[in-house]
Amino acid sequence: MSTLDGLKTLVTGAGGGIGAACAKALAAAGADVAVVDIDKEAAENVAEGCSKFGVNAISISADCGDLGAIDSMVSKALAEMGRLDVIVNNAGVTRHAHIMDLDEQDWDRMFRVNAKGVFFCMQRAAKAMIAQGSGRIINIASIAGRGYYGTSNCAYAGTKGAVLAMTYVAAHQLGPNNINVNAICPGVTYTSIVEGLLSARSTERGITIEELKAEVGKSIPIQRGNDPEDIAAMAVFLAGPGARNITGQGFNVDGGLINS
């Protein structure tokens, strides 16, 4: 028997990067997975990969900054799977920018998905979980939310700080309903988004991406950044039986980059 056999799970922003790794890891552990992404084709491709583990995997195209789309997403997942045991709130956006280069459009775009989207995905999932008497909510935050200065931009850090604060309060309010709420705070994780950020930063400094990655690696105590699978492993743990009494926590997966 696999660790998560029979669980019904949903992962947002799962068309690539951390979200795709989480969806595949949950499937490998025996869970059925609803793969959600704004990119319909990307979601379908990841769902197809998940189904190879012998589980039921469905794809849902949804904009996780839109409340109507969130409602439809949860409704479709419930209709297809019957219940919702785990949601991984991973969808997020950012861009590489100095504080003085950010404008209102940047602020609204990031808070719309990274904070508003996470809140309403939590709320809508929690409604189903309260009705069934249990559930796990896993929010993907960031060490940026703890003040890591090497992040993509200041406003993005604010969105992830909001995710952490919402995680702590939601855990307190949903605990009596047997719902665990935790956050994962990735450090430097090599996804396509981060590769783009590194490309912009290396161009600014006039060095190669390889040279920049080498610098970043030296700044991490364990001497390497994350692969998306490192974050997925923590998500599988938090979804599983070993985490039944863990709630209201934010877990850094960052190779020791920060200590808060």
Confidence of residue 71 (pLDDT cuts 50, 70, 90): very high
The class (CATH top level) of 8-189+227-252 is alpha beta
- Give the number of other CB atoms < 10 A from CB of residue 204: 11
Confidence of residue 259 (pLDDT cuts 50, 70, 90): confident
Q: What span, in angstroms and rounded, lies between the C-alpha atoms of 47 and 191?
A: 19
Q: What span, in angstroms and rounded, lies between the C-alpha atoms of 214 and 107?
A: 31
- Tell me if 64 sits within 8 A of 36, measured CB to CB: yes
Per-residue pLDDT, averaged over 12-40, amounts to 98
Per-residue pLDDT, averaged over 118-125, amounts to 98
Per residue in 131-172, pLDDT tens? 999 999 999 999 999 999 989 999 999 999 999 999 999 999
- Residue 117, Ramachandran bin (φ over 0: left; ψ between -120 and 50: alpha; else beta): alpha
- Tell me if 147 sits within 8 A of 214, measured CB to CB: no
- The SS3 of residue 234 is helix
Residue 37 has pLDDT above 90, yes or no: yes
**pLDDT at residue number 197:** 77
pTM of structure: 0.94
**pLDDT at residue number 211:** 85
Residue 99 has pLDDT above 70, yes or no: yes
Per-residue pLDDT, averaged over 199-224, amounts to 86
Per residue in 4-24, pLDDT tens? 999 999 999 999 999 999 999
Per-residue pLDDT, averaged over 36-61, amounts to 98
**pLDDT at residue number 167:** 98
Residue 1 has pLDDT above 80, yes or no: no
Helix H or strand E encompassing 137: strand 135-140
- Tell me if 32 sits within 8 A of 56, measured CB to CB: yes
Per-residue pLDDT, averaged over 81-109, amounts to 97
**pLDDT at residue number 241:** 97
Residue 204 has pLDDT above 90, yes or no: no
Q: Among 103-107, 124-128, 191-195, 223-227, whose mean pLDDT is lowest?
A: 191-195
Percent of the chain clearing pLDDT 90 (strictly above) = 85
Q: In the chain, list all ranges with CATH 3.40.50.720.
A: 8-189+227-252
- Tell me if 85 sits within 8 A of 9, measured CB to CB: yes
- Tell me if 139 sits within 8 A of 183, measured CB to CB: yes
If you write DSSP's letter for every residue of 195-215 in order, what string do you get? Answer: HHHHHHHHHHHT--HHHHHHH
Q: Calculate the average pLDDT of the chain.
A: 95
Percent of the chain clearing pLDDT 70 (strictly above) = 99
Per residue in 226-251, pLDDT tens? 999 999 999 999 999 999 999 999 99
**Residues identified as active-site:** 156
